[in-house]
Copies of this chain bind each other. A is one copy, B any other.
Amino acid sequence: VNAALALLDEVGLERFTMRALATRLGTYPATIYWHVGNRGEVLSALVEMVFDEIELAAPSTAWDEWLAYLARSYRAAMHRHPNVASLVATRAYARVTAPWLTETILAVLQRGGFAGDDLATGFNAFVGSLVGWVGAELSNIGDFGDDWPATYEAQVRGLAPDEFPTIAAHLPHLADRVFSLRWRSGAAQPMDQSFALALDMWIDGLRRRSRQLEG
């Protein structure tokens, strides 16, 4: 699994190959199949390993701060393994992954007053935003050849100012900095400020809901 994670970090999901993993381990593809099953199982195991890297705040931490801390360390772990982020965001796993983490998040939300359907709803709103946002930030860029960044940049800078006035007026703030106008992934160009705002939105939203539930 260590070798698999190292391979994924180096070559990306598209070139993460059972054959490449086998040669890296000095064996043959069929050997991996004998030991772990198929490609999906390998990826699941690797995701679980990265989840183990996520640092958690002390259990005594206030529930909202605990969740904010989790979000930041989740993002940090994914920035260490950018190719894992989109895997978590958009693929299901062969097995139930990191149930202890799910359990802990749910327990913390419960401390915030969430229960029953509200617990499920709060969990989904928060976890989906976090996992989805980070997956989008670190989405794979540039399986399109070496000159792709340059041509993309040219397209962005070539957007006609009369057709796209707001883009044109704010171009220095937007080019390579916002979704759909950037040519580098969040691994190369982290969206720190945007994440800070997004996280603030999520946590404050949970706080408001918590007050509604308790009041």
Contact = CB atoms under 8 A, between A and B. Distances in A.
Interface in A177-214: 177-181, 185, 191, 193-195, 197-198, 200-202, 204-206, 208-209
A57 interface: no
Interface stretch (A18-26, A59-67, A119-127): A119-127
A89 B170 contact: no
Q: Could you say which of A40, A133, A204 has the most chain B C-beta atoms within 10 Å of its C-beta?
A: A133
A96 interface: yes
A155 B96 CA distance: 7
* This chain: copies in complex: 2
A200 to B, nearest CB: 6
Contact of A135 (B102, B136, B209): B136
Nearest to A164: B103
B99 A144 contact: no
A156 interface: yes
B173 A120 contact: yes
A113 interface: no
A204 B137 CA distance: 22
A200 B142 CA distance: 34
A87 B93 CA distance: 18
A141 interface: yes
Nearest to A117: B173
A97 B180 contact: yes
Given A98-B180, A198-B128, A139 B90 contact: yes
Nearest to A86: B90
A116 B174 CA distance: 9
Given A91-B140, A127-B178, A129-B202, 16 more contacts: A96-B156, A96-B180, A119-B170, A120-B193, A123-B194, A124-B179, A124-B191, A125-B194, A125-B201, A128-B136, A128-B198, A131-B132, A132-B132, A133-B133, A201-B209, A204-B204
